[in-house]
A = this chain, B = another copy of it.
């Protein structure tokens, strides 16, 4: 088998909704991009998935209170809200970003999740001052952390794959994220461990162990090659790429993480597939390639 061939298809029966192995599986809403909050929640209920990672934009379409009610009425929980961040600019734009992040924190609180995923932002347009961008980002996190903590929300700093350093996140490794997170109380600032972003890092096992109670979210998806023309869409279904997942599952568990495993896939082919089928495949791959082994 080459890494580009998809893993084995779902067996005929699929994974039934009541399968206890699904207890900690969460659908990140972006994986089923065409679904509204209501559609995604209903799809999860049908599939037996009890947690969902929401995105601010689809939540905004109906409002936080309505989204929270849909999730709660369905007996589900919100594993995270995506996303705050983009904190590397100065001046008016920087102040506007802080305001927007305070709103994102309020939204997370309103949705009943303690986890706000933070994609911190890349270099400002035209700037090559990476150190300056990192410094401003750290200052913004310092400003937001107490506000988040007071509302029972934790800023979950997400180190992004270094290929996004210029345009999306100057936070590039788990170690760098922890260097920053550790400057704040653990209930205010945590980190995201996303296999796509960190799988290549020779230091990742040390850093996951170090992270311990700082791990606010564990996200999985595969790393595809060749990367698609839009490298943001290189996130594939587990089994379609190069990542071995069980060592990550074991490492975060050993570090003390007991939360959900969120499947977050940005992929044109996945987005073009019937979302119900995506959930069926996701469940099967999750059990076989993440939970087992």
Contacts and interface: CB of A to CB of B under 8 A. Distances in A.
Interface size class of A (residues with CB under 8 A): 35 or more
A129 B231 contact: no
A134 interface: yes
Contact of A1 (B2, B3, B126, B244): B126
Nearest to A234: B163
A2 to B, nearest CB: 5
Contacts of A128: 3, 242-244
Contacts of A3: 123, 125-128, 166
A169 to B, nearest CB: 10
A202 B134 contact: yes
Interface string A223-236: 10111011100000
Contacts of A227: 163, 227, 231
A129, A173, A230, A243: most-surrounded residue (chain B CB, <10 A): A173
A129, A179, A226, A230: most-surrounded residue (chain B CB, <10 A): A226
Interface in A100-153: 123, 125-130, 134
A34 interface: no
A1 B128 CA distance: 11
A125 B225 CA distance: 11
A258 interface: no
A200 B230 CA distance: 20
Q: Give chain A's interface secondary structure class.
A: loop
Nearest to A162: B200
A86 to B, nearest CB: 16
Interface in A180-206: 199-203
Contacts of A249: none
A225 B161 contact: no
B173 A202 contact: yes
A72 interface: no
B163 A176 contact: no
Given A2-B125, A3-B128, A172-B202, A163 B162 contact: yes
B166 A225 contact: yes
A251 interface: no
B161 A241 contact: no
Given A130-B244, A173-B202, 17 more contacts: A1-B126, A3-B125, A3-B126, A3-B127, A128-B243, A128-B244, A130-B200, A162-B162, A162-B163, A163-B227, A166-B225, A166-B242, A167-B225, A172-B201, A176-B203, A179-B202, A231-B231
The 8 closest A-B pairs by CB, nearest first: A165-B200, A128-B244, A166-B242, A163-B163, A162-B200, A229-B229, A176-B202, A2-B126
7 contacts: A129-B244, A165-B200, A173-B203, A176-B203, A226-B230, A226-B231, A227-B231
